[in-house]
Amino acid sequence: MPAATTTCPSTERLSALLDGDLPASEAAVVRAHAAGCARCAQAAAELGALVSAARGLDPLEPPPTLWRAVEGALDARAPAEPRGWLRWRPFLLGTFAGAIAVAIAVFALPRTAARIAERPAAATGEAGMAAAAASDPLLAEAEAEFARAAAAYEQSIEKLRTLLARAEQGWSADERTRIAERLARLDDAIERSRDFARRSPGDSAGNEQLFAAYQQKIAFLAAAVHRGGEWSERTP
């Protein structure tokens, strides 16, 4: 990263800028500085990524797919199991009935440990998956299905964008700016998720993360369209 200068804003001020917490006059100064400073532009981009992941999206509920995406990422690292069409793994139901701590020790920890231990091998497996993507017709089918879903999300976003363009005609410049900034952050989150999904073909977790990002944007756009001029007061 390029060296900071004495005029560079602090990380806290950059963060406040991204959060929309700076007064308009101060925000303009910081924004103008960042436009001409490679270090601050990079820092702002990195902060933006964090903000969109952790703070910028906080007014919305976590997407329903979030936890499943995490689970999917873990599953992708799980060891391959012996072949079998229908595997039946009946637990010793009732043996420790009600003993939650025991259940966690027996079930959750060993599974997690096994998954973590498998990670180095999984990295190699992902490279293999990328190579297989071009030749495996089933993988090509799966990627096509994900692409169709992504296209459907983008189509819905485009419709909402059109409605928003109409709705925001009557809004103040500040409101339009705030919405544009939020949308830029959401677009950034989508782009990063898309890159992640592209890097790991055959991994549903990457696509679930992308779909979760699309859902965030759709929820935000729909809320903005509905709330209209009330947006600035009612959207945190």
End-to-end CA distance of the chain: 33
Q: Which residue in the block uniquely carries the two structure tokens 């007061």?
A: 233
Shorter beta-carbon distance to other proteins: residue 42 or 91? 91
Decide: 225 and 160 in contact? Cβ < 8 Å.
Answer: yes
Side-chain-side CA neighbours of residue 7 (13 Å): 9
203 binds other proteins (CB under 8 A): yes
Shorter beta-carbon distance to other proteins: residue 91 or 113? 91
For residues 37 and 213, give the distance between their C-alpha atoms in angstroms, rounded to a whole number: 29
Binder of other proteins out of 100, 134, 169, 173 (CB under 8 A): 100
106 binds other proteins (CB under 8 A): yes
For other proteins, the binding residues in 211-230 under the rule CB under 8 A are 211, 215, 218, 222, 225-226, 228
For other proteins, the binding residues in 64-93 under the rule CB under 8 A are 64-65, 68, 72, 75-76, 80-93
How many degrees, rounded to 5, is the angle at CA 16 between CA 13 and CA 20? 140
For other proteins, the binding residues in 16-55 under the rule CB under 8 A are none
Question: Letter for the amino acid at 105?
Answer: A
Tokens read off for 166: 């109409």
Residues near other proteins (CB under 8 A) are 64-65, 68, 72, 75-76, 80-97, 99-100, 102-103, 106-107, 125, 128-129, 132, 136-139, 141-142, 144-146, 148-149, 152-153, 156, 159-160, 163, 167, 202-204, 211, 215, 218, 222, 225-226, 228
